[in-house]
Structure 1
Amino acid sequence: MRTAHFLGNCLGAALALAVLVVFVTQWLRFVLSVDGGTGLAALFLWLVLGVNITVWATVGMVRLGDDSVRALADRTRHRRQTWRFGKRGRHHSGRARRTPAGPEAEGRTDSGSAPATTSAPQDLTLAVIIPAHNEEPVIADAISSALRLFHRRDVYVVSDSSQDRTADIAAETGVNVLELLTNYGKAGALDAAIETFELTERYDGVVLLDADTELDSAYVRGVREQLSDPKVAAVAGFVVADWDPAGRTVVGRLISAYRDRLYWMLQYLLRFGQTWRHTSVTSIVPGFASAYRSSVLRQLNINPKGLVIEDFNMTFEVHHKRLGRISMRPGTKAYCQDPFTFGDYVKQVRRWTLGFWQTVRLHGPWLSLFWVALACYILEILFVALLLLATACLAVFTLLPVLTDGAVLSLGWYAAGYEAVTAALPLTVVAVGLLVPDYILTCVLATLRRRPSYLVYGLFFLPMRLVDAYLILRTIPQSWTTASDGRWSSPDRAATRL
């Protein structure tokens, strides 16, 4: 069975790769045949990729080389130390020094408090907070995932005025449970848990998880290794979209596939370079699976009034207060559930973009490399969103005569506009020039993921990008007029396969 699955994946990857090669060659041939096509090719590639991704992907390549050299140097140093220790040990007696037992050996004091500084990654103590509001379908899976990597006493669930069995299910697992009678929202629930259980006083770091998050087996090791660097203030989890075709409708699979491509681009091509030790300019530590040093968390305003989400604000505060750098490694993975319905998808994206603009408005600019990178990012997403929507409008404008059998051309103003638009930018050029590069990205991901079904879902990714572009622009004025009262509502969830 495994052999058949492996061969099927290989065949899927080969199919996606073949489609990728065909589309790349045909697209280049088409665009270059249109008046030389050099300027158009650059424009279309910019609409699909963008300058920011190109720049930070290049920085990411430099980081990859730097990380490889440092890892090789560390291994070489470790071998030398091991060799010297072994050689020295042969010339001394076998008497060993007794290691103290008890709480001190685990990096804790007698009162249970963590030491102020810890050098070894394995000595770092971590607490886990899982805020939840009506998460009955998934809370058990999230807790089970956490208990694989953490002791039961270190897991804290906050039921934020849940009207279902969220708190009861959490209590049955034996973890610490705080049940709030008033709906404070996710940020308020986090604040309440930290204060009630005195987590920043008792632990070196705090891990924040969503109720639909499942942790990879290497997550805790990765967090501890990164927090062992005293310059690291927070660790951003590496998000992986949960791919469960059997448990989703066609729309749900489309959303999951689209998000998978988006996560891959944002993390490998953008944030990997932005979280290099020489840069640290990422604008988001995703709240679905993040870790903060306790000394840093104590200085953050987790729940400022009026914001719809907390993770952008917490990240901005780390930068603004210069509390340390933000770290991210691809190996520190966690799996999340994306929306199952288009309605939930729109609500989630609107909430994310609104929270981003609200945070930008709240903090304002300050002189820093972070804000230089952020300003470049904001300018580009605005221009790309406007151009994408304008291009879509032009496409509809030039397509109407076909759909109406030429009836709209009887209008004089329309006929004149149609002639001008099609002369400057024919519909075929827009369709091929824009759709194909976007689809090429999907082919790349289908090859890497070995999921040929992405080739079908990828045909609808450009409309999804148009929805995102509209919400990016629509939420800008709303960030000045909309304030959150802290309440939240969870989208439709499904129990995951552990």
Structure 2
Amino acid sequence: MKKELLIVIPAYNEEENIERVVRTIIDKYSQFDYIVVNDGSKDKTADICRKNNFELLDLPINLGLAGAFQAGLKYAYAKGYSYAIQFDADGQHRPEYIEPMLAKIKEGYDIVIGSRFVNEKKDKSLRMFGSRMLTLTIKITTGVRVSDPTSGMRMFASNMIKEFAQNLNYGPEPDTISYLLKNGAKIAEVQTEMDERQFGESYLNMMNSIKYMVKMMLSIIVVQNVRKRR
């Protein structure tokens, strides 16, 4: 029997956030299945999950977001889910937007992004300048405007789950979204709000953010033109 939706929660050193994030899903959104993908955390993330009997895919080493996400989609594919959503373990993503995204993807889309900028404007910060440049680069190379290309809240239909599980050895970053668009994927965005991380620190400080944006733009312009499926 086909299952509907799996919430994939990649987690690396999120001991301060993981219980709250998963408890919210269990207590308020129990209609959805979830899996925590512990990405070789060095803290107590896995221990907290085991102590609370959370659904856990425990990777023995750190693979990075791309590897952890792909492990989650391999799990979704093996279990026969129709849809899967990438959901951050740091508490920034709000689960109340999962249902609107699910309704949208059922209209026939392959990917639905939880976007902060469907109805809202980007500010004039350096990070948002980078986001604007990514939006422009994707638009120029694919003809499709993605207003929030760096959003980590992304939902995928079964054909995309299969693509990541079997053919793509990459994470769901903006350059991969661009690649999928070039190969015919239909994408939509749903307006969402995101919270600030309450505990811990993001690796995306200012310098890493700049490096990330430059890397993504170069990949979209150059690498995606010669990229091959596995």
TMscore range, shorter length: 0.7 to 0.9
Partner residue in 2 for 1:333: 193
Structure 1 distance, partners of 2:187, 2:52, is: 33
Q: 5+ unaligned residues in a row in structure 1: which ranges? A: 1-108, 115-124, 241-256, 366-498
Shift of 1:336: 4.5
Partner residue in 1 for 2:211: 350
Partner residue in 2 for 1:286: 150
- 1:303 to 1:283, Cα distance in 2 relative to 1, 3 A: farther
Alignment of 1:108-257 (within 5 A): 109=1, 113-114=2-3, 125-151=4-30, 154-195=33-74, 197-199=75-77, 202-216=80-94, 218-230=96-108, 232-239=109-116
Structure 2 distance, partners of 1:167, 1:205, is: 25
Amino acid at match of 1:224: L
Larger relative helix fraction: 1
In the TM superposition, what whole-angstrom CA distance separates every residue of 1:239-291 from its partner, at most 9, and x where no partner exists? 49xxxxxxxxxxxxxxxx8769939x95xxx79xx7xxxx7432864352111
> Are 1:363 and 2:224 counterparts?
yes
State the number of aligned residues. Answer: 210
Match of 1:131, SS state, is strand
Q: Percent identity?
A: 19
Task: State whether residues 115 and 190 of structure 2, in contact with CA within 8 Å, keep that contact through their aligned partners in structure 1.
Answer: yes
Structure 1 distance, partners of 2:87, 2:35, is: 10
Task: State whether residues 234 and 326 of structure 1, in contact with CA within 8 Å, keep that contact through their aligned partners in structure 2.
Answer: yes
- 1:350 to 1:328, Cα distance in 2 relative to 1, 3 A: same
Please report the RMSD computed on the Cα atoms of aligned residues, expressed in angstroms: 3.6
In the TM superposition, what whole-angstrom CA distance separates every residue of 1:108-162 from its partner, at most 9, and x where no partner exists? x3xxx23xxxxxxxxxx21011111112222223323433553287111111111
Query: What TM-score comes out, normalization by structure 2 length?
Result: 0.74
Partner residue in 2 for 1:299: 163
- 1:259 to 1:337, Cα distance in 2 relative to 1, 3 A: farther
Partner residue in 2 for 1:320: 182
Task: State whether residues 38 and 57 of structure 2, in contact with CA within 8 Å, keep that contact through their aligned partners in structure 1.
Answer: yes
Shift of 1:229: 0.8
Task: State whether residues 237 and 285 of structure 1, in contact with CA within 8 Å, keep that contact through their aligned partners in structure 2.
Answer: no
Larger CA Rg, structure 1 vs 2: 1
In the TM superposition, what whole-angstrom CA distance separates every residue of 1:377-404 from its partner, at most 9, and x where no partner exists? xxxxxxxxxxxxxxxxxxxxxxxxxxxx
- 1:189 to 1:132, Cα distance in 2 relative to 1, 3 A: same
- Residue in structure 1 matching 2:128, options 262, 270, 291: 262
Structure 2 distance, partners of 1:219, 1:341, is: 22
Q: Runs ≥4 in structure 1, deviation > 4 angstroms?
A: 257-261, 338-343
Structure 2 distance, partners of 1:190, 1:153, is: 18
- 1:185 to 1:221, Cα distance in 2 relative to 1, 3 A: same
- 1:335 to 1:294, Cα distance in 2 relative to 1, 3 A: farther
- 1:349 to 1:261, Cα distance in 2 relative to 1, 3 A: closer
Amino acid at match of 1:156: I
Amino acid at match of 2:114: G
Task: State whether residues 115 and 151 of structure 2, in contact with CA within 8 Å, keep that contact through their aligned partners in structure 1.
Answer: no
Partner residue in 2 for 1:90: none
Structure 1 distance, partners of 2:73, 2:204, is: 33
Amino acid at match of 2:128: L
Q: 5+ unaligned residues in a row in structure 2: which ranges? A: 118-122
Structure 1 distance, partners of 2:31, 2:46, is: 16
Match of 1:335, SS state, is coil
